[in-house]
Amino acid sequence: MAARLYFVRGRVQGVGFRDYAQRMASMLGLTGYVRNLDDGRVEVYATGTPDKLSELSGLLRRGPRWSDVHGVEEREAACAHHSDFQIQV
């Protein structure tokens, strides 16, 4: 198991990005969370296999239909236990 922290920038708030990230991460069998940040970015924390995390990274770079992703910063993170993938408010 591995963990990654992603910071997604662009037009990613108010366009269903958190719902999209939750659906994609759950589809891939990942656990963690997604939340909006005050600076307009979206933060995604995910744990799972390196291959599935790589798939998620590509999906986050694409984003949902109405988003306009300008970039994704990706960092290694410490593994933390989450039972599923949740949207944090």
User: Which residues carry out catalysis?
Assistant: 18, 36
Contact (Cβ atoms closer than 8 angstroms) between residue 54 and residue 38 = no
Cβ neighbours of 82 (radius 10 Å):
15
Cβ neighbours of 7 (radius 10 Å):
17
